[in-house]
């Protein structure tokens, strides 16, 4: 009997903590509650705990469960039970914070190690997306150089930097076109190289910003290194010692130090750009400014990934492990809204904070969905086709489908708790509407880029600077070939013509007097030559005068006419007086993707929408469809090429040819002849589809086409 009691007493004794653990006070929560961190120096890991865990741990050494409960309940305002102590023991055991004693403890540790082991495939799956390689131990260097750069932590430096920012932005705004014109340099080999160098330098400054700020607050910076995200290298700094700080404000400054350092670099680069002469150094400064401004705003400030923006948000809100806690709250909200299980809240927050955390959870889930789909495409195109296809499928299954499957599996385990209620009925209604939208055939349309042009058209110009004498046409009028449109006059030509005609008359008179006057007879040959020259001048003046009578080059419609063409107005040869178009030759050319080609046919109708906002849509009808796809864009197709702002993706070859990157077919459209545009117009055409197909069938056809296209290894 005494042996049994001794055994029970031994079982109730608390397992001892590891002797090398450290306990530090940490920051208070947003509600003001104190927190602490347990530091494991062996693994350099921190574990955040609250007051309940702290009060138990400070009374832990060589205590039994009953005595621990009794002391905590008597000496504090807290009330704990055996279950709470057991949960803490499990937490300490799972994170290897207990001292190993006896075969049972060793067996438990062995089981944890075996459970943590991963197969080669699982290891590669988890680590090809993200892994770290420590490179340097910078703590001694940072400590030695911190006194040199302490100036950057002063208010004076902040004021100077703010002034430089305002000055740099102001100066750039005065020559913004010159600044933006540097962007095309990005796409040259030298530009890409300079961009990579500038980005690497900016990221190094970013990490030193974290490191120096941590040292400024007296912390240790054990490592700096490079991490690989989807095989893309990024620098990192281990600033986890920030958990030791008791001020959330100090932790926030460490979190934001990298961004501030990059912005400071961007400010200096932007200011320098205004004073440097054109050349490689100015291009490098431009790249540095663009890289730092862009990467800081697009990547580092993003709170949905575990970058600086996320840690800044957690320290600002005072909520450690924000993602895990928001996800738990989001799952609870989703389950209650759909099934109304009646489960208690996983964690209580003030109402406004509760809503913010819920929005953060759903925003992160949506962002991750888009991100992982993007990563799936990246790995597909980054690797060779077989491996790329495999990794893309793994990405979609493991990171997108698996979490959805796990949540739905949990729903099935709770099916006994499901009750028919208002939330369930509403969820079923939404599901039914969604399925209906997927399976009911819908009348759909096909969108495609298009170009409006007339293949026989002519712009009417004045042959020279002249004065209008008569305007015989108006916009919309049909004219016959050779019909007079405008009559112009040029007084100088008329004056020169009259002078030449008088000279001609005088020369003829002199020739007639040859017989009676010996002096004229001697110069007969000269007079004949002068007469021929003046007559040639007269013909030239008359020919120029004939040009001032402008006629229609062919029968057609006047689709536009210049404003304020009145008698007596002077015009020059650069003014388009009018445009004449042969209506039967006016067409719209559409460029239809092969995926949509089966949905249209000759005779289908649609509408053309010009890009010009002041033009009205035009009714169109399919006249013909090319039997083969376009292998090379012609000069007339340039309007739709992607490199010129169009929607057809093309590749520019070294010999300046435009090669479409997907199968595109020309579709010829006739137009409503009562509505003509003034010139060539780029736009989009919307055509009616041939068949009514449900959305799910269309998606399946599209997936099949992609699979068939990509199945050729």
- H or E element, residue 280: helix 280-295
Same domain, 519 and 637: no
Domain count, the chain: 5
Give the pLDDT confidence score for residue 210 in this predicted structure.
93
| C-alpha to C-alpha distance for 445 and 692, rounded to whole angstroms | 10
Cβ–Cβ under 8 Å, residues 521 and 527: no
Same domain, 538 and 631: no
Q: Please report where in the chains the tokens 């260097």 appear, as a residue.
A: 141
Give the pLDDT confidence score for residue 115 in this predicted structure.
58
Give the pLDDT confidence score for residue 562 in this predicted structure.
84
| C-alpha to C-alpha distance for 297 and 300, rounded to whole angstroms | 6
What is the pLDDT averaged over residues 441-464?
A: 79
| C-alpha to C-alpha distance for 307 and 258, rounded to whole angstroms | 10
Indicate if the alpha-carbon torsion angle 385, 390, 395, 400 is positive or negative: positive
Q: How many CB atoms lie within 10 A of CB 615?
A: 16
Same domain, 132 and 109: no
Indicate if the alpha-carbon torsion angle 611, 616, 619, 624 is positive or negative: negative
Read off the pLDDT band of 2 (50, 70, 90).
very low
Q: Which residues pair with 48 in a beta bridge?
A: 37
Residue 431 lies in a domain: no
Looking up residue 94, the CATH number of its domain turns out to be: 3.90.930
Residue 204 lies in a domain: yes
Q: Select the more confidently predicted residue: 334 or 706.
A: 334
Give the pLDDT confidence score for residue 7 in this predicted structure.
42
Supply the pTM of this predicted model.
0.62
- H or E element, residue 670: strand 664-671
Q: Select the more confidently predicted residue: 113 or 530.
A: 530
Give the pLDDT confidence score for residue 568 in this predicted structure.
86
What is the pLDDT averaged over residues 214-230?
A: 87
Cβ–Cβ under 8 Å, residues 695 and 702: no
Residue numbers of the domain that contains 534:
457-578
Binning the chain into helix, strand and coil, the percentages to the nearest 5 are 55, 20, 30
- What backbone torsions phi and psi does residue 664 show, to the nearest 5 degrees? -130, 140
pLDDT at 117 over 50: yes
Cβ–Cβ under 8 Å, residues 637 and 664: no
pLDDT at 213 over 90: yes
Cα angle vertex 215, ends 213, 218, to 5°? Answer: 120
DSSP state of 99: -
What is the pLDDT averaged over residues 614-622?
A: 84
Buried b (16+ CB within 10 A) or exposed e, 287-322: bbbbbbbebbeeebbebbbebbbbbbbbbbbbbbeb
Same domain, 133 and 85: no
Read off the pLDDT band of 4 (50, 70, 90).
very low
Q: Which of 37-41, 131-135, 137-141, 184-188 has the lowest mean pLDDT?
A: 184-188
**Six token digits for residue 283:** 């291009």
Q: Please report where in the chains the tokens 């004045």 appear, as a residue.
A: 462
Q: Which of 203-217, 242-256, 393-407, 518-532 has the lowest mean pLDDT?
A: 518-532
Read off the pLDDT band of 248 (50, 70, 90).
confident
What average pLDDT does the chain have? Answer: 81
DSSP, collapsed to helix, strand or coil, labels residue 58 as: coil
Residue 425 lies in a domain: no
Give the pLDDT confidence score for residue 319 in this predicted structure.
84
Same domain, 499 and 556: yes
The string of DSSP letters for 336-403 reads: HHHH---PPPSS---HHHHHHHHHHHHHHHHHHHHHHHHHHHHHHHHS-HHHHHHHHHHHIIIIIIHH
**Six token digits for residue 311:** 């840690």
| C-alpha to C-alpha distance for 216 and 209, rounded to whole angstroms | 10
Residue 293 lies in a domain: yes
Same domain, 310 and 239: yes
Go through the chain and tell me how many residues it has. 713
Closest by CA position to 356, among listed 364, 368, 345? 364
Cβ–Cβ under 8 Å, residues 673 and 685: no
Same domain, 147 and 292: yes
| C-alpha to C-alpha distance for 655 and 297, rounded to whole angstroms | 38
pLDDT (tens digit per residue) in 281-304: 777 787 778 777 776 667 788 888
Read off the pLDDT band of 9 (50, 70, 90).
very low
Q: Which of 254-258, 453-457, 508-512, 598-602 has the lowest mean pLDDT?
A: 453-457
Q: Give Cβ neighbours of residue 307 (< 8 Å, ≥ 6 apart).
A: 299, 300
Cβ–Cβ under 8 Å, residues 460 and 579: yes
Same domain, 188 and 302: yes
Same domain, 587 and 562: no
Cα angle vertex 655, ends 652, 657, to 5°? Answer: 45
Residue 426 lies in a domain: no
Same domain, 682 and 593: yes
Same domain, 615 and 674: yes
pLDDT above 70 coverage of the chain, percent: 82
pLDDT at 682 over 70: yes
| C-alpha to C-alpha distance for 527 and 506, rounded to whole angstroms | 10
| C-alpha to C-alpha distance for 284 and 275, rounded to whole angstroms | 13
| C-alpha to C-alpha distance for 347 and 345, rounded to whole angstroms | 5
DSSP, collapsed to helix, strand or coil, labels residue 153 as: helix
Read off the pLDDT band of 169 (50, 70, 90).
confident
Cα angle vertex 571, ends 567, 572, to 5°? Answer: 160
pLDDT (tens digit per residue) in 473-521: 888 788 888 888 899 988 888 888 888 888 888 878 777 766 555 655 5
| C-alpha to C-alpha distance for 162 and 112, rounded to whole angstroms | 53
Same domain, 485 and 621: no
Give the pLDDT confidence score for residue 140 in this predicted structure.
92
Residue 346 lies in a domain: no
| C-alpha to C-alpha distance for 373 and 399, rounded to whole angstroms | 9
In the listed set 520, 544, 578, which residue is the last one of a domain according to the structure?
578
What is the pLDDT averaged over residues 448-460?
A: 79
pLDDT at 587 over 70: yes
Closest by CA position to 622, among listed 644, 600, 603, 643? 603
Residue 49 lies in a domain: yes
Q: Is 619 exposed, middle or buried (0-12, 13-18, 19+ CB in 10 A)?
A: middle
- What backbone torsions phi and psi does residue 245 show, to the nearest 5 degrees? -70, 145
Looking up residue 673, the CATH number of its domain turns out to be: 2.40.30
| C-alpha to C-alpha distance for 329 and 325, rounded to whole angstroms | 6
pLDDT (tens digit per residue) in 654-677: 888 888 888 899 998 888 655 666
Residue 377 lies in a domain: yes
What is the pLDDT averaged over residues 580-587?
A: 73
């Amino acid at each position: 009997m005494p042996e049994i009691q001794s055994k029970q007493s031994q079982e109730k004794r608390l397992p001892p903590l590891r002797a090398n653990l450290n306990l530090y006070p940490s920051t208070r929560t947003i509600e003001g509650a104190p927190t602490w961190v347990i530091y494991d120096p062996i693994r350099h890991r921190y574990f955040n705990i609250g007051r309940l865990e702290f009060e138990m741990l400070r009374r832990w050494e060589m205590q039994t469960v009953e005595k621990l409960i009794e002391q905590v309940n008597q000496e504090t305002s807290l009330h704990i039970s055996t279950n709470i102590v057991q949960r803490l023991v499990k937490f300490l055991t799972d994170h290897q914070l207990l001292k190993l004693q006896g075969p049972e403890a060793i067996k438990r540790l062995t089981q944890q190690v075996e459970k943590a082991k991963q197969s080669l495939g699982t290891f590669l799956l988890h680590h090809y997306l993200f892994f770290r390689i420590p490179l340097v131990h910078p703590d001694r260097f940072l400590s030695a150089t911190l006194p040199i750069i302490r100036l950057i932590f002063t208010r004076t430096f902040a004021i100077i930097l703010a002034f430089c920012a305002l000055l740099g932005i102001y100066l750039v705004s005065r020559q913004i076109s010159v600044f933006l014109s540097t962007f095309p340099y990005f796409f040259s080999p030298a530009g890409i190289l300079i961009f990579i160098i500038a980005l690497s330098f900016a990221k190094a400054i970013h990490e030193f910003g974290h490191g120096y700020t941590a040292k400024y607050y007296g912390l240790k910076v054990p490592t700096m290194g490079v991490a690989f995200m989807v095989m893309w290298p990024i620098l990192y700094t281990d600033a986890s010692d920030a958990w030791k700080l008791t001020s959330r404000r100090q932790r926030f400054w460490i979190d934001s130090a990298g961004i501030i350092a990059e912005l400071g670099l961007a400010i200096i680069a932007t200011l320098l750009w205004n004073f440097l002469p054109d050349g490689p150094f100015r291009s490098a400064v431009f790249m540095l400014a663009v890289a730092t401004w862009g990467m800081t705003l697009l990547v580092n400030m993003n709170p949905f990934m575990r970058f600086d923006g996320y840690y800044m948000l957690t320290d600002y809100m005072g909520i450690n492990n924000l993602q895990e806690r928001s996800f738990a709250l989001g799952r609870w909200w989703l389950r209650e809204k759909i099934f109304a299980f009646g489960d208690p809240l996983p964690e209580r927050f003030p109402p406004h904070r509760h809503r913010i955390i819920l929005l953060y959870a759903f925003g992160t889930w949506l962002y991750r969905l888009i991100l992982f789909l993007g990563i799936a495409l990246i790995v597909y195109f980054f690797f060779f086709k077989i491996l790329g296809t495999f990794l893309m499928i793994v990405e979609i299954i493991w990171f997108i489908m698996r979490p959805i499957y796990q949540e739905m599996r949990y729903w099935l385990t709770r099916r006994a708790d499901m009750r028919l209620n208002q939330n369930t009925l509403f969820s079923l209604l939404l599901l039914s509407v969604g399925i209906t939208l997927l399976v009911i055939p819908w009348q759909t349309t096909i969108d495609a880029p298009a170009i409006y042009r007339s293949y026989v058209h002519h712009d009417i110009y004045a042959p020279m600077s002249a004065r209008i004498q008569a305007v015989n046409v108006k916009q919309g009028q049909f004219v016959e070939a050779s019909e007079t449109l405008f009559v112009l006059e040029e007084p100088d030509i008329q004056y020169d013509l009259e002078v030449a005609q008088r000279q001609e008359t005088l020369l003829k008179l002199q020739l007639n007097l040859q017989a009676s006057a010996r002096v004229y007879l001697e110069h007969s040959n000269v007079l004949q030559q002068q007469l021929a020259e003046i007559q040639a001048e007269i013909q030239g003046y008359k020919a120029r005068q004939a040009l001032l009578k402008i006629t229609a080059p062919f029968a057609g419609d006047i689709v536009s006419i210049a404003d304020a063409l009145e008698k007596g107005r002077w015009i020059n040869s650069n003014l388009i007086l009018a445009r004449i178009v042969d209506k039967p030759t006016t067409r719209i050319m559409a460029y239809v993707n092969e995926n949509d080609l089966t949905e249209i046919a000759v005779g289908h109708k649609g509408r053309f929408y010009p890009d010009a906002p002041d033009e009205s849509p035009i009714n169109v009808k399919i006249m013909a469809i090319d039997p083969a796809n376009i292998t090379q864009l012609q000069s007339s197709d340039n309007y739709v090429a992607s490199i010129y702002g169009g929607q057809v993706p093309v590749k520019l070859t070294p010999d300046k040819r435009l090669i479409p990157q997907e199968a595109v077919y020309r579709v010829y459209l006739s137009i409503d002849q009562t509505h003509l545009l003034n010139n060539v117009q780029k736009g989009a055409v919307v055509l009616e589809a041939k068949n009514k197909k449900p959305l799910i069938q269309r998606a399946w056809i599209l997936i099949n086409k992609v699979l068939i296209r990509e199945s050729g290894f």
